[in-house]
Amino acid sequence: MSSKTPYQVLCVCLGNICRSPTAEAVLRHLCDAENLNVMIDSAGTSNYHPGKAPDSRSQQHAKKRGYDLSALRARQLQTQDFKKFDLILAMDYENLDNIQHLMHRAQQEFGAAALRAEVALMSQHDCNFPEQEVPDPYYGGSEGFEHVLDQCESSSRAWVEIIKMKLEAKV
Ligand code: 4NP
């Protein structure tokens, strides 16, 4: 990878309207603050809400912390994503399982050598939420949306340190 090629991260949840757009905005904010050459996107394992903006509750809670989710639009994870992205982050264990199943399909479709994605749990390096799921807030109250933000901020800080090391190793 040349130093001009961005490191590409994809945040993934079920619907791509609550957790993964929040993770996308938080991780982007932290990477931008450190001037890291990183490109971030998000997707859902389901196709429940294609083209839809993030849930209004996610948008409102994020806005209070300075994150603007309004321009983001939902899309479904696809096999091509395993060729494009360096790192795919699952919000929970069910997402992780579904991502890994789709990765097997991508291997059959393109061959293992064509894939670049490392698949991990959002909280993998987070000492505050060690290997914990980011709980789905969709059917709950406002505290669930605040918790998603707390966890995304904490886990993104941990990933920024890992991504910095990955970028330094590739210069
Ligand atoms: P997300 O939350 O996976 O964090 O985007 C959900 C959004 C929608 C649904 C479930 C979870 N749904 O069932 O429509």
Picking from 41, 35, 31, the residue whose alpha carbon sits closest to that of residue 76 is 41
- Point out the ligand 1 atom lying closest to the alpha carbon of residue 20: 4
Q: Note the pLDDT tens digit of each residue in 1-44.
A: 445 789 999 999 999 999 999 999 999 999 999 999 999 999 99
Q: How confident is the model at residue 76 (pLDDT cuts 50, 70, 90)?
A: very high
Domain residue ranges of the chain, discontinuous segments joined by +: 7-170
Among 110, 130, 108, 112, residue whose Cα is nearest residue 121: 130
How much distance in Å is there from the Cα of 14 to the middle of ligand 1? 5
Q: Spot the catalytic one: 13, 18, 31, 152.
A: 13
- Mean pLDDT for the stretch of residues 75-85: 98
Would you call 19 a catalytic residue per the annotation? yes
The CATH-assigned architecture of domain 7-170 is: 3-Layer(aba) Sandwich (3.40)
Per-residue b/e over 26-43, b at no fewer than 16 CB within 10 Å?
bbbbbbeeeebebebbbb
Would the CA dihedral through 80, 82, 87, 90 be positive or negative? Answer: positive
Q: Is the dihedral of CA 140, 52, 39, 45 positive or negative?
A: positive
The predicted-structure confidence for 44-65, as pLDDT tens digits, reads as follows 999 999 999 999 999 999 999 9
Q: Tell whether pTM > 0.75.
A: yes
Choose, from 18, 86, 136, 152, the residue flagged as catalytic.
136
Q: From the CB of residue 161, how many other CB atoms can be counted at a distance below 10 Å?
A: 10
